[in-house]
Copies of this chain bind each other. A is one copy, B any other.
Amino acid sequence: MQIGEVADRTRLSLNTLRHYDQAGLVVPSARSQGGFRLYTETDVQRLLTIRRMKPLGFSLEEMRELLEVVDRLGAADLPVDDRAALRDRLRGFQRAAQEQRDKLVEQLSRAQEFIATLQQLDDEAG
């Protein structure tokens, strides 16, 4: 799949996709002879996951780490110690994600208040 189709499917810009490639967040699985980025279905799923994470305010580097942890946890034969360490890191991300979600909820309700204030102002000006 070329970058254009991926951009359409993920609603991410061409530049964003190139930026994620350069940042090592989602490196396309292959390149064509001419150097065109070639994405697999798995790559696209990864990008969609990233899009879900974005509102939680993680940096690209943090998202890269989280995805790495998730990938490695998926591996079949993993030493028990490694698995435990990975789960600890995963829990750290979980906590951060939940805190960020709580903040988002609060921001949303403040934004809601603000919108109500605008409405009131409009009514008054009528």
Question: Which residue on B lies nearest to A100, using beta carbons?
Answer: B111
Give this chain's copy count.
2
User: Which single member of B52, B107, B110 contacts A113 (CB below 8 Å)?
Assistant: B52
A114 touches B87 (CB 8 A): no
A105 to B53, CA, bound (A): 14
A105 to B122, CA, bound (A): 24
Please tell me if A2 contacts chain B, counting CB pairs below 8 Å: no
| Contact code string A53-95 (vs B, CB < 8 Å = 1, else 0) | 1111000000000000010010000000001001100110110
A125 CB contacts on chain B under 8 angstroms: 73, 83, 86-87, 90
Q: How far is the CB of A120 from chain B (nearest CB, A)?
A: 11
